[in-house]
Amino acid sequence: MTHQHDAQRRRFIRSSTGVAALVIGTSLVNMSRPVQAQSLTHLGELQAPNDLGIRLPSGFSARIVAHAGARLIKDRWWRRTQYRWHTYADGGATFATADGGWIYVSNSETIGLLGGGASAIRFDAEGTVVDAYRILGGTNVNCAGGATPWHTWLSCEEIDFGRVYECDPYGERNAQPRPALGYFKHEAVAVDPNLGLLYLTEDEGDGRLYRYVPAGLNAQGDLNLESGTLQVAALAPGSDTEGYITWLDVPNPTPGLLQTPTRKQVPESTAFNGGEGIWYNDGSVYFTTKGDNRVWQLDTNLNHLQRVYDAATSDNPILTGVDNITVASGGELLVAEDGGDMQIVVIDSDGNLAPLLQIVGQDGSEITGPAFSPDGSRLYFSSQRGCAVFGGGNGFGITYEITGPFTEFMSI
């Protein structure tokens, strides 16, 4: 079946790296730097917890769109989808639909026997849930992932020798494994559409930052995820915080059980303390490392790495347990906490920090999967172990939607 989104006009150019790069419309990547409106760090103080236990700035509201094990109701009891939302929701992203609606995709960080994989919630143009369905099954501990410019979802297994699976958010095509992206404890992946490269994080205490160089394009004209070169980042000797990256080929990206793990195959490569979320925006990829509570920026054109936040040295260390990450229209980073104070924290281009929201009473949980609707007016995320029935943070997960004056802070 032909997707409506496949008809979007796009073309490829040859980048300076020698690989095909995707040029797409401004609905996906703003090719010029936006004019910045007021930063999301100026939303104001968080108010008292609402009836869902969420603290928000004035003018914002929240609702539950799904909770683990429950059917997602459409608009009448006789028109409900039979699909039950998955447990332990993790990384997520949104995708536009032809009718003006959108889809929110979410991973399930549990073993395949208990569900696992990834699922999707479909909304109409008014934001009403109209469908829910599975897009990936039979996989294990799917943590975060990443959206592609050609409208697929890359779901990452966070297990030893884990793989990446390419999924169709629209539910029309079967998910496909992408072993060329490597076997390791995957966390997340981001696509640089200008250079035609993928960047991947690894959730190990001595994990690596990887880059995948596709072998050209596939038959559909998208980046080839079946054949390419997996590389690992190496900073200059003596530097572990910033500097220029050298990319070194990984000799065996798909090691067997008794073979050398991917992260240990290139001794000169740089270790990162627990790679977590990663997101591309305007010529850079931003990623987090949980072991040292850092947020990093890699300029993908210059291959230069620097820290944009470090809890150990920050003048305002309100962000800990760094995990999933996304980017708002104005370029602000939104970082979700795994534990910490159960916040989503905004970091603006000047390095200012402010909490966007806080979940109260779910300290045993973590916030996962932050993603804006395509028009930037709604924010989706989950409390991975939130309990919708009895409250607290020892349940199987709740997925929320936040609405408010986000568009007043959008770039113009």
CATH code assigned at 402? 2.120.10.30
- For residue range 24-62, list pLDDT tens digits in order: 332 333 333 344 568 999 999 999 999 999 999 999 999
Q: How many domains does the chain have?
A: 1
Confidence of residue 11 (pLDDT cuts 50, 70, 90): very low
| pTM score, whole prediction | 0.91
Strands (E) in 34-163, as ranges, are 54-55, 61-67, 89-96, 102-108, 118-123, 129-136, 142-147, 153-157
Is residue 61 a contact partner of residue 402, using CB atoms and an 8 Å limit? yes
- The average pLDDT across 166-177 equals 98
Does some domain include residue 32?
A: no
Does some domain include residue 349?
A: yes
Does some domain include residue 31?
A: no
Residue 68, domain extent? 4-26+37-409
Does some domain include residue 361?
A: yes
Q: What span, in angstroms and rounded, lies between the C-alpha atoms of 21 and 11?
A: 9
Distance of CA 193 to the CA centre of its chain: 16
Q: What is the pLDDT of residue 72?
A: 83
Q: What span, in angstroms and rounded, lies between the C-alpha atoms of 105 and 65?
A: 13
Is residue 330 a contact partner of residue 409, using CB atoms and an 8 Å limit? yes
- The average pLDDT across 396-400 equals 96
- Which residue, among 405, 345, 396, has the nearest Cα to 370 in the 3D structure? 345
Q: Any idea which residue has 């419309």 for tokens?
A: 25
Residue partners of 205: CB distance under 8 A and separation at least 6: 271, 273, 274, 291
Does some domain include residue 272?
A: yes
Confidence of residue 76 (pLDDT cuts 50, 70, 90): low
Task: Let me know if 243 is exposed, middle or buried by CB neighbors in 10 A (0-12, 13-18, 19+).
Answer: middle
Does some domain include residue 285?
A: yes
Task: Let me know if 310 is exposed, middle or buried by CB neighbors in 10 A (0-12, 13-18, 19+).
Answer: middle
Percentage of the chain lying above the pLDDT 70 cut: 87
Does some domain include residue 143?
A: yes
Does some domain include residue 86?
A: yes
Q: What is the pLDDT of residue 79?
A: 54
- The average pLDDT across 75-86 equals 70
Confidence of residue 104 (pLDDT cuts 50, 70, 90): very high
| The token pair that represents 380 in the structure block | 């989706």
- Which residue, among 18, 401, 35, has the nearest Cα to 195 in the 3D structure? 18
